[in-house]
Structure 1
Amino acid sequence: MKNFIIFLILAAINVAAYAKPHCQGFNNYDNKVTIVSTDYKAGSQYTVSDVIFVPSWKGKEYKATSVSTTVENGVATVTLEFPHITQFSNPKVILRINGKKRTFKVCQ
């Protein structure tokens, strides 16, 4: 029984360590940029911080003005809002999930 509990703990740590968000939606309406991502390996704890939007290869970065996270049945949905931006070229989001740095491409 003790080995089983250790296995469950290690499995939970492994899931959290490999969290990987995927872009589900992107829009530039209502004078803001909104990006929604989903992570199917969220586990029970999913803390998002240090969110930055990089809209093009030019390297200018924008901090999130709003971050909203929900976790249901191990699936996290994160809604990010940024200032209104009009030009995009291969945009990406850089953020920390449970303290680990992650990057994902923004769907357009």
Structure 2
Amino acid sequence: MTARPSPGDLLVVDGRASVQFGGDRALTFRVVSVSDQPTYAGWIWLTGYVLDRRGEATDKREIYVQLAGLRPAPPPDTPSRRAPRSRPASSYVRRPDQGSAASGDRAGLRAGADAG
């Protein structure tokens, strides 16, 4: 990636971008801002968030990297959203102060409200 990153870009930052991110120190980085501060040719200051495998931000950092060494990152592993489990009708337990909705008896609710 030789183009200047933009806020929102998701990047792989590894040893190609800077020796400090080599090996197991590589990270996935979501860019928040790109500095206009003058630097050496081909280098840039980025501010953003280090992401874990699920795409959750774990740390905010400012990094100094070589543009030529930055690569777009694949989208993070996102857990599939499961539909909420519905509770079986039989699992509902009526409290004594609730009365019977079927019979229209709300005396228990009124008594509880009057007592409070």
TM-score range, shorter chain: under 0.3
- TM-score with structure 2 length normalisation? 0.25
Normalized per residue, which structure has more strand? Answer: 1
- Structure number with the bigger relative contact order (C-alpha 8 A, sep ≥ 6) is 1
Structure with the larger helix share: 2
**TM-score, length-scaled by structure 1:** 0.27
Higher Cα radius of gyration: 2
